[in-house]
Amino acid sequence: MKKVVYTYKALGDSMALLREVSGIPVKELCESCGISNRTYYQVIFGETLA
């Protein structure tokens, strides 16, 4: 299985889209895709890493 690596911005955008389409909370999306809590909070607050 190929692992897809997103930038934080792309990940945040795609998760926001998923949340709108599916109604699944971001926390559940994060748990299901196995990213860390630190990344989860960065996605929530829309932080990007250079």
The letter for the amino acid at 8 is Y
> CB atoms < 10 A from the CB of 29, how many?
19
Asked if 30 and 19 touch (Cβ cutoff 8 Å), the reply is no
**Whole-number pLDDT of residue 10:** 67
Q: What's the whole-model pTM score?
A: 0.26
**Whole-number pLDDT of residue 47:** 47
> Using one digit for the tens of pLDDT, what is the confidence trace for 1-50?
455 555 556 666 666 666 666 666 656 655 655 555 555 555 555 544 43
